[in-house]
Amino acid sequence: MYGDISAKAAHMLGQPAVLDFFAKLIQRVSPKSYQQALAEVQVSQKFLENFCGDQVRFLARSFAVPGNHLGQRSNGYRWPYGPVAIITPFNFPLEIPLLQLMGALYMGNKPVLKVDSKVSIVMEQMIRLLHDCGLPAEDMDFINSDGAVMNKLLLEANPKMTLFTGSSRVAEKLAADLKGRVKLEDAGFDWKILGPDVQEVDYVAWVCDQDAYACSGQKCSAQSVLFMHKNWSSSGLLEKMKKLSERRKLEDLTIGPVLTVTTEAMIEHMNNLLKIRGSKVLFGGEPLANHSIPKIYGAMKPTAVFVPLEEILKSGNFELVTKEIFGPFQVVTEYSEDQLELVLEACERMNAHLTAAVVSNDPLFLQDVLGRSVNGTTYAGIRARTTGAPQNHWFGPAGDPRGAGIGTPEAIKLVWSCHREVIYDVGPVPESWALPSAT
Amino acid sequence: MYGDISAKAAHMLGQPAVLDFFAKLIQRVSPKSYQQALAEVQVSQKFLENFCGDQVRFLARSFAVPGNHLGQRSNGYRWPYGPVAIITPFNFPLEIPLLQLMGALYMGNKPVLKVDSKVSIVMEQMIRLLHDCGLPAEDMDFINSDGAVMNKLLLEANPKMTLFTGSSRVAEKLAADLKGRVKLEDAGFDWKILGPDVQEVDYVAWVCDQDAYACSGQKCSAQSVLFMHKNWSSSGLLEKMKKLSERRKLEDLTIGPVLTVTTEAMIEHMNNLLKIRGSKVLFGGEPLANHSIPKIYGAMKPTAVFVPLEEILKSGNFELVTKEIFGPFQVVTEYSEDQLELVLEACERMNAHLTAAVVSNDPLFLQDVLGRSVNGTTYAGIRARTTGAPQNHWFGPAGDPRGAGIGTPEAIKLVWSCHREVIYDVGPVPESWALPSAT
Amino acid sequence: MYGDISAKAAHMLGQPAVLDFFAKLIQRVSPKSYQQALAEVQVSQKFLENFCGDQVRFLARSFAVPGNHLGQRSNGYRWPYGPVAIITPFNFPLEIPLLQLMGALYMGNKPVLKVDSKVSIVMEQMIRLLHDCGLPAEDMDFINSDGAVMNKLLLEANPKMTLFTGSSRVAEKLAADLKGRVKLEDAGFDWKILGPDVQEVDYVAWVCDQDAYACSGQKCSAQSVLFMHKNWSSSGLLEKMKKLSERRKLEDLTIGPVLTVTTEAMIEHMNNLLKIRGSKVLFGGEPLANHSIPKIYGAMKPTAVFVPLEEILKSGNFELVTKEIFGPFQVVTEYSEDQLELVLEACERMNAHLTAAVVSNDPLFLQDVLGRSVNGTTYAGIRARTTGAPQNHWFGPAGDPRGAGIGTPEAIKLVWSCHREVIYDVGPVPESWALPSAT
Amino acid sequence: MYGDISAKAAHMLGQPAVLDFFAKLIQRVSPKSYQQALAEVQVSQKFLENFCGDQVRFLARSFAVPGNHLGQRSNGYRWPYGPVAIITPFNFPLEIPLLQLMGALYMGNKPVLKVDSKVSIVMEQMIRLLHDCGLPAEDMDFINSDGAVMNKLLLEANPKMTLFTGSSRVAEKLAADLKGRVKLEDAGFDWKILGPDVQEVDYVAWVCDQDAYACSGQKCSAQSVLFMHKNWSSSGLLEKMKKLSERRKLEDLTIGPVLTVTTEAMIEHMNNLLKIRGSKVLFGGEPLANHSIPKIYGAMKPTAVFVPLEEILKSGNFELVTKEIFGPFQVVTEYSEDQLELVLEACERMNAHLTAAVVSNDPLFLQDVLGRSVNGTTYAGIRARTTGAPQNHWFGPAGDPRGAGIGTPEAIKLVWSCHREVIYDVGPVPESWALPSAT
């Protein structure tokens, strides 16, 4: 049945008018450019296409292995949890809740969904569309509340599993409250390393600009720190990045309001960084001008601050430099051939391991960096990025047993089902069977 | 390398003298018959055989999917956590710690292992054997301590993942302390349902006796409650079970001391059950005689208490009846054709979903019961049992995202590794590429 | 790209007007009822839905295993053959060629397609629809010819792989001509066994009628012989089958022309069977009346002939009884408890192992029959059938390395790709490497 | 059971005395150095280790997918063929027959094995060892005969599947005789391409020497042609290869008799090559001196002949240059940046696609060459080789539906089993079911 619902919903969502409706609706509540909002709808549409027809039943594929005697075989199933909960944040009002909701339903769970109330109108419209495509009204619940009420509901309803996407602080609280019956996708302080082989500088600069500043940096996959091999210094990369950042403007929301950090907080953080010896502003560093963004939100030009590598690693500085600013803000540093160890040490000491990028086509360099890092979604190669994950590959953190994933069949199976083993043992009891001694 | 270590250890452990040494060593610390202790060693030996040669590397099998353009592909890996902890209980002093330890090592983790200190001598000897087979001394740590010290160590060392096998009470505490960075295999109140098709009564009676009373009932998979279809009443099953239970004797440890429940506690629990209307002792119900088992341990004859189904479901009684007694104790009840709903309701209301058995060869009956239950390891068919899980199928609970598994490649991968996605994107950047607008 | 084409084509084919157009077009060239023709279009439509979005790329999923030293890993790919050929028969003018064509394209081959020229108009229309949905014109070739011309083309073009669906005679010739570079799905003499547990007689009778006589028996999966346990004799099954067969009529094509066997040939075959001792006509056995079907085609009432089991097994009779008649014709026989061995021997002696059905819910009986038979697509259980395979499970013969499959991801991968292993070994060469002696 | 046999046989074969016995026995009948013979035994031993314990049953892993209604599910099995045949050549008297034999047995077939009678004593001894480890005598047949007798046996016994490893000529004849019921692993004209990035010249020279001349070139994976990027010209590679080839000597069989090509034939072939404009002998080119090798065998120094790339591609020359010489003989050529197309064209025009090597760490170059070639076992990276395939990765040709593989679980499953689908459909028939109209 869910194959049919997905097919219908994918087709409907693929209509130009519907794509446009949802893209604009997203823009109404979430500060991103039309292209970024449209991409969110398109990824959601592709995801639905992926689970048309029999593909939902193929998710429930089990396996069997012969047993020890005639009539015995063991079967490994992916089994639903039953009642589950989904809690999703403001920055992707359609993609995150839709993909997780459908995943939960595909695997046979009964989800209650809560989307950040600032943006829940998008999912509310989407659920209406799903109902129209055949989703039975009783298969899921949709709740509008603040976090405190939701927390209380979770503690009382005691769902078998809760998927939470959002800030690390709330994630840790929920994990303790629910005694670990959670899957989490929380923030990331995402790094990018440029390797020794300098190539395609224009392309790499453009990717850096998008990774750091698209959606005003309000993606959990946004580039937070850039480790640049010294070979790139004379390539003009930083100048190109500066120029690209200056193209961004409020009118088309290629830069825009920051919902969870105020301008003052960002300026203060920057000033703290600038106290570190050798630090400097590369570009940005000023509030946006000529706007009517309320004070409770942030409004900042795309900003990059340079901090020397040796300083980053000092224990007083490290926590400061790796503090995630959910806005258009990144740290840049440089390393020489013999400092790769320091770069890897820095990456290992960071807490959140969500996305990462290793921009190099040198197989030995890639092997070295990939083998010693643990970020969940890691891009490698000269075209590597940290953001822009589509529906066709897994997206999620690694290194944590509570880590969730989103997008692929593997993610759906891991997050929304558990292993169950059924061993069939139908006989016959051999004719020669005789009562053994007790053991 | 671990393929070679496993091959050597499997061969060494398979030598009759070594098998015998470990079986007797287990008997020194854990109250079970020689056959039961021997079986534990044999399962451990077979497990090691399963991961000879290249099979360890096959565990690290990854997959790849083509990307969106030339040079792009996404790879899904199973990635180790790094530093991890393993905590295992007294009742399987070799099998549980060895299988989990090797699983952790196969996937590339660095484990610290703590076995219940009453029985840790078994694993201590096994680790010496592993060292002799080539296990590098620095690949794992072995710690002897009580639970409190271990708890402190975990909070300070903060392992990325902790596997705990043991009581539900400690499991829940650990889950909260470690904020869910755990996999758990805790106790189960395991049920068996006899279906409407009465067959092979002698065989079924023998399996019931073994499931309920082998190792004096001190298996987390022991049969705790038996739901018997009325058709079995006149089959003589209960009489046969009684006779079988009376074969058990202290001399060969087919019945023996209970390590975590005293005789008084068991008698008191029984007496509470007997207050329920219609309850009666089917057999046993008395302390063992003529023994020198210290008072802090339990010593009880294999016992079965009948409680009527309607009474079990009453809310006052339910918690009492389904309280797990980690000893030679089971509840028996009966149901008629139209009471299957009540049986399923009872099974659903129980908390721990570890093992279960549906003794029937009727496919529609099996389908009905299996489809509406969630126990992790469920045996189905006329030869179904609740205990005796070997190394060739998954063993573990279901319905809980924190649930661990043991034994199979799937269990090892699920417990000891996480998903990591690496997306290679090496180019070439198309010659026609031109700088897009910012988004 | 093919994910998009499939999504568009699935949606277009799912429009009621298009479904109806193709169903009626099929009826114009292939003698089947509207319902049967419609089902063929629906299965084709669902198949296209199954490969929407990223599902085509997921077909190309590869795996990797770590190698023996740093920098080495082996990758197993499914690789296309390149130029391939597809030859399909008259009885499923849309489903067979479309599913195989798309499978070949999904895996990256360049196919040339030949459909039986009597019915090729259906696929010709379908290809136009595919072109409209974005299929590049140069990705495939479509040829209209008779078999001799096609044979010559194959010998000259020497495709890497040829998929042939059709008669066993042509299949064997092609296999020798092309030196085995073929995958074959040829005719089947398909059996059904009714087990000892008599249940749901009305339902089973209806399934038998559909299996033997839908499309006038012109399915390679049609029921050719029915082995009935004696317990069914008094159930009225044969009477019910007779009544059901008499509902069939020319007007709605529930019975219709037979394209490859004349009426005379069928009558002659029947008369030969009737010479066997104990044989008799159960029903049918006469030509259709009041029709204008040309003499070169067959026109026969749905017919069942009873032959005693012992007679079937006699070597003179066996070849006669198991000769496939591609029309509305079946053999029925009966067996007693102790004759199951003879039934299994008969099934094993048959040559073509396409579909089969074991109508029983007795797990030991099913286990016995399934374990000793080798038919590719075998249905088991009280609702078992031999025909009506949808797109969600594999359909194809077993027991032959040349056997093809159709429908599922497994079938597509097996038929349309081969294994290729690429071992990356990028180094580094260890610094300690020194030139070894020659070996 | 086969898990136990494999465990015992792996352990026994791993004893130093047994390893040595088989290595020397191989040397008695097959002209290779002790190291090469020993490696053959070690690979065989590792293979047996891989299928210890439960790993044989894991090969029989099936999968299941839910069906369309309650009680229905489809199961995909790997099913044995039944009676099968195995025919293997002289050059690997232990590894090839043992791995294929065990693969056939693991999947449940009943094989008859024929090894080239010149070397069958090795397998005869191995089978005795297997019997000692528990292999039932009746599970397989071992036949000693010449090819003609075997051909007759195959035609009469009509095995369901025949695995043939050996010359292309016999392979094609068998494929036609057995109408394609074969899996083939025949000779390869294996190429190596050195990419533009010159690195590790000593290492690459050594690998070239081993690939071309180990076992006197009598491996189906031996390097037959070397395409060298012009950048390598000044690296001294060819001089190093010459020196390495001159280390080889008869005493330790690092060069030795060629069993299927006489010295005269090799000299004649060389002289024909030298008639091509621009050709020259790089080294070797002379018969071995001071030996007692009978005239019916070949005895030739390790030889390399240079032929210009443009000449190779000319249609008169191409067949000559790419004629496989199963001896210590290779062709070397050179290409410049803009001639890569010609190299790829040459590789594509070759017939047999067994192994290949792309010696480069440039990801774009690798991508280019790998994407446009189809060799079954392809090594890529600076350490790439063409020979020395171990048991841990697939070895076999690609691009041919008759292609066999050897070594891995995938190879065993592909060669020794076929897909069988069993669809369980046990009901219940819905209570609302009513007889539909005929269709």
For chain C, give every domain's residue range.
Answer: 2-59+81-187+397-416, 190-380
Q: Give C-chain residues touching B63 at CB under 8 angstroms.
A: 61-64
Q: What mean pLDDT comes out for the span C243-265?
A: 96
Q: Give C-chain residues touching B62 at CB under 8 angstroms.
A: 63-65
Q: Give D-chain residues touching A75 at CB under 8 angstroms.
A: 64
Question: Of the residues D215, D220, D334, D347, which is catalytic?
Answer: D220
Subunit contact B65:C57, Cβ cutoff 8 A: yes
To the nearest whole angstrom, how far is the Cα of A417 from the nearest Cα of chain C?
21
Q: What mean pLDDT comes out for the span C297-315?
A: 97
pLDDT of residue B385: 96
C-side interface with A, Cβ within 8 Å? Answer: 3, 7, 10-11, 14, 46-55, 57-58, 70-71, 363-364, 367, 391-392, 409, 426-428
Nearest to B65 among C60, C361, C381 (CB): C60
Give percent above pLDDT 70 in chain A: 100
Nearest to D71 among B10, B49, B367 (CB): B367
pLDDT of residue C406: 95
Give percent above pLDDT 90 in chain B: 94
Map D66-91 to HEC letters.
ECCCCCEEEEEEEECCCEEEEEECCC
Q: Which residue of A has its CA nearest to C370?
A: A71
Q: Give B-chain residues touching C57 at CB under 8 angstroms.
A: 65-66
* Residue D153 parent element (H or E): helix D147-157
Contact C182, C164 (CB under 8 A): yes
Question: Is residue C238's pLDDT more than 80?
Answer: yes
Confidence of residue C351 (pLDDT cuts 50, 70, 90): confident
Nearest-10 Cα torsion for B98, B101, B105, B106 = 50
* Residue D181 parent element (H or E): none
Question: Is residue C352's pLDDT more than 80?
Answer: no
pLDDT tens-digit series, residues A393-409: 999 999 999 999 999 99
Q: Which of B27, B347, B383 to probe the A interface (max A CBs under 10 A)? A: B383
pLDDT of residue D203: 97
Q: Which residue of C has its CA nearest to B63?
A: C63
Q: Give D-chain residues touching C183 at CB under 8 angstroms.
A: 401
Contact C343, C191 (CB under 8 A): no
Q: CA gyration radius for chain C? A: 24
Q: Give B-chain residues touching D3 at CB under 8 angstroms.
A: 49
Nearest to C58 among B65, B361, B362 (CB): B65
pLDDT of residue B276: 98
Q: What residues contact residue B263 under an 8 Å CB cut-off, 6+ apart?
A: B287, B295, B298, B299, B300
pLDDT of residue A1: 86
Nearest to A378 among B396, B422, B438 (CB): B422
Count of Cβ atoms closer than 10 Å to residue C93 Cβ:
30
Each of the 439 residues of chain D gets a pLDDT tens digit; together they read 899 999 999 999 999 999 999 999 999 999 999 999 999 999 999 999 999 999 999 999 999 999 989 999 999 999 999 999 999 999 999 999 999 999 999 999 999 999 999 999 999 999 999 999 999 999 999 999 998 999 999 999 999 999 999 999 999 999 999 999 999 998 778 999 999 999 999 999 999 999 999 999 999 999 999 999 999 999 999 999 999 999 999 999 999 999 999 999 999 999 999 999 999 999 999 999 999 999 999 999 999 999 999 999 999 999 999 999 999 999 999 999 999 999 999 999 987 789 999 999 999 999 999 999 989 999 999 999 999 999 899 999 999 999 999 999 999 999 999 999 999 999 999 999 999 999 9
pLDDT of residue B352: 72
Whole-angstrom distance between the N-terminal and C-terminal Cα of chain C?
Answer: 50
Edge-to-edge order in the sheet of strand D83-88: D141-143, D110-115, D83-88, D161-166, D182-186
Question: Is residue A85's pLDDT more than 90?
Answer: yes
pLDDT of residue B300: 97
Q: Which residue of A has its CA nearest to C56?
A: A50
Q: Give D-chain residues touching B9 at CB under 8 angstroms.
A: none
To the nearest whole angstrom, how far is the Cα of B335 from the nearest Cα of chain D?
22
CATH 3.40.605.10 fits A2-59+81-187+401-416, yes or no: yes
Q: Give B-chain residues touching A419 at CB under 8 angstroms.
A: 376, 394, 396, 398, 403, 405, 410-411, 414
Q: Tell me what the pLDDT averaged over chain A comes to.
A: 95
Q: Tell me what the pLDDT averaged over chain C comes to.
A: 95
Subunit contact A391:C53, Cβ cutoff 8 A: yes
Distance CA C81, CA C93 (A): 25
C185: annotated active-site residue: yes
pLDDT of residue A352: 73
pLDDT of residue C225: 97
Subunit contact D65:A75, Cβ cutoff 8 A: no
Q: Give D-chain residues touching C244 at CB under 8 angstroms.
A: 438
Confidence of residue C338 (pLDDT cuts 50, 70, 90): very high
Count of Cβ atoms closer than 10 Å to residue A218 Cβ:
25
pLDDT of residue C300: 97
Each of the 439 residues of chain B gets a pLDDT tens digit; together they read 899 999 999 999 999 999 999 999 999 999 999 999 999 999 999 999 999 999 999 999 999 999 989 999 999 999 999 999 999 999 999 999 999 999 999 999 999 999 999 999 999 999 999 999 999 999 999 999 998 999 999 999 999 999 999 999 999 999 999 999 999 998 778 999 999 999 999 999 999 999 999 999 999 999 999 999 999 999 999 999 999 999 999 999 999 999 999 999 999 999 999 999 999 999 999 999 999 999 999 999 999 999 999 999 999 999 999 999 999 999 999 999 999 999 999 999 987 789 999 999 999 999 999 999 989 999 999 999 999 999 899 999 999 999 999 999 999 999 999 999 999 999 999 999 999 999 9
Q: Which of D2, D57, D74 to probe the A interface (max A CBs under 10 A)? A: D57
Question: Is residue C257's pLDDT more than 90?
Answer: yes
Q: Which residue of C has its CA nearest to A424?
A: C363
Cβ burial, residue B251 (10 Å; 0-12/13-18/19+): exposed
Q: What is the ipTM of this complex?
A: 0.92
Distance CA B199, CA B211 (A): 18
Question: Is residue C396's pLDDT more than 90?
Answer: yes
Subunit contact B71:D364, Cβ cutoff 8 A: yes
| Among the listed residues B363, A74, B194, D433, the one whose alpha carbon sits nearest the alpha carbon of residue C360 | B363
Q: Which residue of D has its CA nearest to C379?
A: D423
Question: Is residue A187's pLDDT more than 80?
Answer: no
pLDDT tens-digit series, residues C411-439: 999 999 999 999 999 999 999 999 999 99
pLDDT of residue D143: 96
pLDDT of residue B1: 86
Count of Cβ atoms closer than 10 Å to residue D289 Cβ:
8
Question: Is residue C187's pLDDT more than 80?
Answer: no
pLDDT of residue D188: 78
Subunit contact C391:A54, Cβ cutoff 8 A: yes
* Residue A170 parent element (H or E): helix A168-177
Contact A387, A92 (CB under 8 A): no
Subunit contact C376:D420, Cβ cutoff 8 A: yes
Confidence of residue A351 (pLDDT cuts 50, 70, 90): confident
| Amino acid at site A110 | K
To the nearest whole angstrom, how far is the Cα of B114 from the nearest Cα of chain D?
28
Q: What mean pLDDT comes out for the span A170-187?
A: 93
Nearest to A66 among D60, D63, D65 (CB): D60
In this complex, the chains that touch C, judged by 3 or more CB pairs closer than 8 A, are A, B, D
CATH domain D2-59+81-187+397-416 topology:
Aldehyde Dehydrogenase; Chain A, domain 1 (3.40.605)
Contact A374, B79 (CB under 8 A): yes
Quick check: do D2-59+81-187+397-416 and D190-380 share a fold?
A: no
pLDDT of residue B427: 92
CATH classification for the domain delimited by C190-380, as one of 3.40.640.10, 3.20.20.70, 3.40.309.10, 3.30.56.10: 3.40.309.10
Angle between helices D34-50 and D95-106 (to 10 degrees): 10
Q: Which of A362, A394, A423 to probe the B interface (max B CBs under 10 A)? A: A423
* Residue A55 parent element (H or E): helix A55-59
Q: Which positions of A are catalytic?
A: 185, 220
pLDDT of residue A150: 93
Nearest to A383 among B385, B402, B425 (CB): B425
B156: annotated active-site residue: no
